[in-house]
Amino acid sequence: MRCDVLAVGTELLLGQIVDTNSSWIGEQLAAAGIDSYLHIQVGDNQARMVGLLRYLLEQADAVIVCGGLGPTQDDITREAIAEVMGTSLERREDLTDAIRELFLSLGRPMPASNLRQADVPKGGEAIPNPKGTAPGLLCPVGDKVIYAVPGVPHEMQHMVESAVVPHLLEKSGQRGTILSRSLKTWGSSESGLSERIASRVDTQTNPTIAFLARGIEGLVVRITAKAGTLEEAEALIGAEERILRDELGDLIFGVDDETMESVVSDLLRQKGWTLGLAESLTGGLVGSRISDAPGSSEIFKGSIVSYATEVKRSVLGVTAEQVVSAECAIQMAEGARRVLDADVGLAVTGVAGPTEQEGQPVGTVFFGLALPGHEPEALRANLPGDRLRIRQFSTISLLNMARLRLLGRPGRGML
C-alpha cells in the first residue's frame, strides 16, 4: 500500500508557514507500515491541484490532501477533488446542521461562507471533525482513494489517526495490530546517538527502529511492532525497549507524550518538593515550560526573570562580581529558593549573543541548582546556535540537569 501527500496552500510556497503537517503524516504512515514516496506542495490553484492529484493517483494507491477545506473562496480542495472524480459537489444537510450547532454552542453568528464546508463531492464521504467546522473527505477514484483533511494541525491529526490510517489499513488488507512507542532522549549529539543504536536500526525488522530528530525537544527513538494482537505487539515493543534502555540509560527522559517539563514536575511531586526559578538569558522560557506541565501548580512557586544585573543583586542577593559565572548561577538558585520559599532552586545565566559578555563567548551558559540536603552546584555548558537556539537549548538542558539530580544521578556531561 502506497499513500502520497499533497499539501495545499500558497502560504506554504511563500515560506509564510512551515509544512510540519506533511512530516507528521509521513511519520504516521511509516508507523503503520504504509509506503509514502512523494510529498508535494501546491498553491491555491485548482488546475495545478487537479493535475497533481491525477499524477499522484497514477502512481500511488491513495493520496492525502492537507489543507484547503476552509470557508473562504481560495479554499478549493473540495472543487479540485470533485473535478478529479468527474462529479459535482452536493451540500449535505447533516453537515450544515452540525456547523450551525457548533457556532451556536460558541455563541457566535455563523458566516454564510461556512456552509461551503458542508459541500461533499458526489460519491464521497465526510470524515467527522469534532474539533472544528471543516469535515474531512474520503473520496474513491476508481479503486483508489483521496483523503482530504484540514490544515489546522490538531484537526488534521485527529482525522488521520481516527479515520484515514484505519481506512488505509483496511483497504490494504492488513490485519492485526500496529503499535509504536517513542523513547525521548536528551544529552547526546544526533550522530552519537545514531552510532549507539545503529546495529538495532539496521538489523531489526519487527519491531522496527526509527531515529527522529526533534530539535529542542530532543532525539526520539521510535519502536514500531506488528502483531496479531495488542498483547503480542506490546511484548515485542517491551523486549526491544529493554535492550535500548540498557544501551542508552539516562539519556532517555520520557516516553510518548511525556515532556521534559512533565517528567521534572512528576519527580518533584513524588518527593513532595516545590520549585523556584531564577532566569536570566532564558527570560522566562523555563517557567513557561514548567507551567505547561499538567499539575504544575502543585510544585511550581514561580520564576524570577532577573535579566538585568541590578535585579540579580537587589532581588536575588547575588554578590558575584561576574554575572556570567558558576558563582552567580549558584547564588541565583539559592536566591530563588529563598525568595520564593521553595524546596528546590534552579537558575540559568549566560551569553545568548550577539556578542560576548564579561569575556565569555556566545553560547556560554551556567546552570545552578540548590536541592534540600545537598551543597548547591553549578554546571557550565557551551551551547551552539543563534540567540534563539541558545535560549531554547538552555531551557531544556537546565530541566534535564534537574531531572538527573532528582534521580540521584550526576548532571555533568548530560546537558
User: Same structural domain for residues 167 and 198?
Assistant: no
Q: Which domain holds residue 183?
A: 177-255
Count up the domains in the chain and report the number.
3
Q: How far apart are CA 376 and CA 368, in angstroms?
A: 7
Q: How many other CB atoms are there within 10 angstroms of residue 23's CB atom?
A: 12
Instruction: Tell me whether residue 411 is in a domain.
Output: no
User: Same structural domain for residues 119 and 185?
Assistant: no
User: Same structural domain for residues 359 and 382?
Assistant: yes
User: Same structural domain for residues 122 and 224?
Assistant: no
Is there a cis peptide before residue 166, judged by omega within 30 degrees of 0?
Answer: no
CATH number for position 31:
3.40.980.10
Q: How far apart are CA 258 and CA 255, in angstroms?
A: 6
User: Same structural domain for residues 292 and 367?
Assistant: yes
User: Same structural domain for residues 299 and 332?
Assistant: yes
180 φ/ψ angles, rounded to the nearest 5 degrees: -125, 150
User: Same structural domain for residues 247 and 330?
Assistant: no
Q: pTM score, two decimals?
A: 0.77
Q: Is 111 exposed, middle or buried (0-12, 13-18, 19+ CB in 10 A)?
A: exposed
List of residues 6+ apart from 170 with CB closer than 8 A: none
Bridge pairing between strands 275-279 and 344-350:
parallel
User: Same structural domain for residues 88 and 146?
Assistant: yes
User: Same structural domain for residues 13 and 146?
Assistant: yes
What pLDDT was estimated at residue 414?
52
Q: How far apart are CA 93 and CA 113, in angstroms?
A: 15
Instruction: Tell me whether residue 313 is in a domain.
Output: yes
Q: How many other CB atoms are there within 10 angstroms of residue 87's CB atom?
A: 14
User: Same structural domain for residues 247 and 295?
Assistant: no
User: Same structural domain for residues 37 and 85?
Assistant: yes
pLDDT in tens, the chain (415 residues): 999 999 999 999 999 999 999 999 998 888 787 889 999 999 999 999 999 999 999 999 999 999 999 999 999 999 999 999 999 999 999 999 999 988 888 888 889 899 999 999 999 999 999 888 899 999 999 999 999 999 999 999 999 999 999 999 999 887 667 788 999 999 888 888 888 888 887 777 889 888 888 877 889 998 988 888 889 999 999 999 999 999 999 999 999 989 999 999 999 999 999 999 999 999 999 999 999 999 999 999 999 999 999 999 999 999 999 999 999 999 999 999 999 999 999 999 999 989 888 889 999 999 999 999 999 999 999 999 999 999 999 999 999 999 999 999 875 545 5
Instruction: Tell me whether residue 240 is in a domain.
Output: yes
